[in-house]
Chains A and B, each alone.
Chain A
Amino acid sequence: MRRLRAMIVKEIWAVLRDPRTRIVLVVPPFLQLFIFAFATTLDVRNAELAVLDRSGGRAAVELIQRIEGSPNVRRVRRLASERALAEAIDDEQAIAALVIPEGFARDVAAGRPATAGLVLDGRRSNAAQILAGYVQQIALGLGAELKPRIARAAGASEVTAWYNPALDYIWFTLPSLIAIIVSVAGLAITSQTVARERELGTFDQLMVSPLRVHEILIGKMVPPFLVGTLNGTLYMVAARVVFGVPFTGSLLLFYPALWIYMLALIGVGMLVSAASQTQQQAFLGSFLATTPLILLSGYASPIDNMPGWLQVVTYADPARYFLVIDQGLFLKAMPASVVLQQLWPLALIACVTLSAAAWLFRARME
């Protein structure tokens, strides 16, 4: 125990006193909090729209005003001609242009179905589609008020989003962020540990001491483990307190899941570290591991959208399971039985990565 204690204390000091590691500890989490929380929005806000109104009349004005009034739209430009419309889209002055044809107001007034066209900028397809959705909703809303019967006949459905009734994207992003940040920081710190000793020449010194291999490995696992727990806690609290995301599940499930996920990650980081000769290599290696870890986790794009063979690959990604648990515990009070379903593959992956790391560490000693 004395040896192990000394090793753990030394590793913690090594992390705290190394300026580079300190930066890894502090900067990426904060940077990510701000970037992910504010920049990677899935909503479309401050959109610039254009409108070519050929109809005039009450209904057309009403429609335009409602669009102008939407919180997602910053400004609606009035256009005079087809050519102006083409220019507005071309120069990206507007992401979409609404064309209200002649007779629109007349049709509405007469109770006939009226149509309006929407021209979208296909270069910004994602944002444009989302915007199209907004406009459609507004138009439907208008129609429903004017002629409730007609609108209902058109098959409008009432949508209720469970677990995230306001469909606030932050409710989705922030819980996922916990997984991402824990992964990035955990991998970065773990991957440096052995490589740093190799580069500095302290590795031999360590190996000639009576420390056993498992003591060295455990000692090296402690700091990333602590950092991961700290980061995870910090973000969980920030998500609730600062961003108001509800945490509906049990902390007694959250922490074990976080810890097992950390172990799986540390195994991956150790593998990278044991394989690297220098810190530079370790850094590149951890980058190489982080990217697929996150992309295949289902955070960036749903796993169901991936080709079949890639979906199979995602079963090996520990982040996949933790992400489900993490989001589930936040938003839908995931019960223990469901958490366990995700937890056992995670534990299996942790066993595999840790054993592989220990094996590689021993093999690379010479």
Chain B
Amino acid sequence: MDGPVARADGIVKRFGTGAPALDGVAIAIAPGRITGLVGPDGAGKTTLIRLLAGLMAADAGTIEVLGRAPGDARDAIGYMPQRFGLYEDLTVQENLDLYAELRALPRSERAEVFGKLLEFTDLARFRSRLAGRLSGGMKQKLGLACALVKAPRLLLLDEPGVGVDPISRRELWAMVGDLKREGIGVLWSTAYLDEAEKCDCVYLLNAGKLLFEGPPAALTGRVDDRVIRISGFEERRRRFLTEALDRPEVIDGTIQGRSVRLLLREGASFQPPPHATVDLAPPRFEDGFVEILGGGPTGTSRLAERYRTIPETDRPVIEAKGLTKRFGDFTAAEDMRFEIPRGRIFGLLGPNGAGKSTTFKMLCGLLTPTAGTGAVAGFDLRSAAADARAQLGYMAQKFSLYGNLSVRQNLDFFAGAYELSRADAARAIDEALDVFELERVAGRDAGSLPLGFKQRLALACAVLHQPPVLFLDEPTSGVDPVMRREFWTHINGLVEKGVTVLVTTHFMDEAEYCDEVTLIYRAVQIATGTPDDLKADAATLAGLDDPTMEEAFIALIEEHDRAHGVRAEAA
């Protein structure tokens, strides 16, 4: 069969008043292909998938799955919802049994199907383990196995790459590649733009609208020859990026280790600084996306312009001296050691559950270390925790402000919590509203704001008291690239003013902004260095030429596993 397994036209779906979640979206999923549904959080990806799965009805438009209404074709659809759709209190085998029962798979076929799926997902050894106790990657594989119990012709995967370490993610892709060869039409939704490049065909969604459809190369093709990498300049790379982004010919730019990567306006040429080398870099999907969105922000951060200069100091601003955390007999983090000097970005990298959040939480005072000590801005975490807390600004991955309070009330609260005097608070809040362009929404509930504004508000609250230290917990996961640029523009500016930043991330893009990263895996630091150092290590380890951060990550973890026995014993 050559026609698409599923097709949707002119889909409109509204929730309440306001902008529709989907606004005139059309999609066609071909058999034997991986169709990517790509877009930031809140773009409408999940809504579209749920419509295709027949879980809700569209307000307008037509949907056809295998020539039928979506609800009638459920037998032929495999659907993996975002949070695995597993029963955490059942074992791997019981989950499979349950899905087989739900899908009415004949008893006689079960043994064979289960055998195949368990082999396929490499979960045979974990049959009797509770699903809730699997690692993120294994949960995702089990979710996939459950969706495949009755061989579907259309497989809907809602963000299967979220919360999965790079190695499991690679395995997941390989598995889905096998399915595609069996002729299944796969829809893979993702907020990670690098995943888009691996799809055969991509639908790019943003704020309910389709921005692009076609093979990913068609999007990157638009920016071919306009992506350059500049290295060997004398200035500090962050200052250089700031200046480059302020130039009219530059649409977008990011830091990549010691070099800077720029996207140029069509037909423009870039005058590099003396002694710098300029190479043409391969364009990426993200470049195309940024261009469609009209380019990133300029380089100068208005926040940083008004920020105080943090006084110089020779002592490390953040110190971890053998930080260890145990929960019962489980060690979540062991002997973490690093020092971060003033005005640096330090990254804690690692798969979910590896211990980076635990380390992060110990340093910001949320967890008491079992052993070891740490200090923030000279205040010991054990003896002067409250003083240490007053020195830091904190921003968590999940929007964690008070959704029921207005933007201004949120700012008021944080100004008070950080003991700004009345006059200082009033000035700081006015500035924040101005810098982050929040005046228009100052009276609105923070929870009702679009993601980008929430992000700004979160940053505004975190820096209201102009702390010398910023703690960022996966600050930009799921936001669109322009928002991410805007965020990092501010952070880069603040770092130039002497602010020290600790960031946790499993997002390789964010890792590139760091001066130094430490890779945490199974509760220990397995490698520490500049992003370029880690990439160089990985290049020698895995024999790769110019590896990406993600490839370096995988190579280093695999090397660690080789040195410490098999990966099979995974959490």
Interface residues of A (CB under 8 A from B): 2-3, 5-7, 9-10, 13-14, 17-18, 200-202, 204-212, 365-366
- Bound state CA distance, A204 and B400, in angstroms? 8
B42 contacts chain A at the CB level, 8 A cutoff: no
B219 contacts chain A at the CB level, 8 A cutoff: no
- Bound state CA distance, A9 and B402, in angstroms? 13
User: By the criterion CB–CB under 8 Å, are B419 and A2 in contact?
Assistant: yes
- Bound state CA distance, A14 and B366, in angstroms? 23
User: By the criterion CB–CB under 8 Å, are B416 and A2 in contact?
Assistant: yes
- Bound state CA distance, A2 and B418, in angstroms? 9
- Bound state CA distance, A2 and B413, in angstroms? 10
Q: Which 10 A-B pairs have the closest CB atoms?
A: A6-B416, A210-B390, A201-B400, A10-B413, A17-B404, A208-B394, A209-B417, A201-B398, A18-B404, A205-B400
User: By the criterion CB–CB under 8 Å, are B402 and A14 in contact?
Assistant: yes
Given contacts A10-B412, A208-B392, 13 further A-B pairs with CB under 8 A are A2-B416, A7-B416, A7-B417, A14-B404, A200-B400, A200-B403, A204-B396, A204-B400, A205-B394, A207-B366, A209-B414, A209-B418, A212-B386
Q: Give the A-B pair count, Cβ closer than 8 A.
A: 85
User: By the criterion CB–CB under 8 Å, are B412 and A6 in contact?
Assistant: yes
Chain B residues with CB under 8 A of A210: 386-387, 389-390, 417-419
User: By the criterion CB–CB under 8 Å, are A13 and B409 in contact?
Assistant: yes
- Bound state CA distance, A18 and B409, in angstroms? 14
In the complex formed, the residue of B with least CB distance to A21 is B404
A to B CB contacts below 8 Å, 12 in the list: A6-B412, A6-B414, A9-B412, A10-B413, A17-B406, A201-B400, A202-B400, A204-B394, A208-B471, A209-B417, A209-B418, A366-B367
- Bound state CA distance, A2 and B414, in angstroms? 11
- Bound state CA distance, A210 and B413, in angstroms? 12
CB distance from A74 to the nearest CB of B (A): 51
- Bound state CA distance, A63 and B562, in angstroms? 102
Interface residues of B (CB under 8 A from A): 361, 364-368, 386-387, 389-390, 392, 394, 396, 398-406, 409, 412-421, 445, 471
Interface centre among B404, B415, B420, B421 (most CB of A within 10 A): B404
In the complex formed, the residue of B with least CB distance to A10 is B413
User: By the criterion CB–CB under 8 Å, are B419 and A3 in contact?
Assistant: yes
Chain B residues with CB under 8 A of A9: 412-413, 416
User: By the criterion CB–CB under 8 Å, are B392 and A6 in contact?
Assistant: no
User: By the criterion CB–CB under 8 Å, are B413 and A6 in contact?
Assistant: yes
- Bound state CA distance, A200 and B401, in angstroms? 8
- Bound state CA distance, A10 and B417, in angstroms? 10
A209 and B389 contact, Cβ closer than 8 Å, known pairs A6-B415, A9-B413, A14-B405: yes
User: By the criterion CB–CB under 8 Å, are A208 and B364 in contact?
Assistant: yes
In the complex formed, the residue of B with least CB distance to A366 is B367
Chain A residues with CB under 8 A of B401: 202, 205
- Bound state CA distance, A13 and B412, in angstroms? 11
CB distance from A83 to the nearest CB of B (A): 59
- Bound state CA distance, A211 and B414, in angstroms? 10
User: By the criterion CB–CB under 8 Å, are B417 and A3 in contact?
Assistant: yes
Chain B residues with CB under 8 A of A18: 404
Chain B residues with CB under 8 A of A6: 412-417
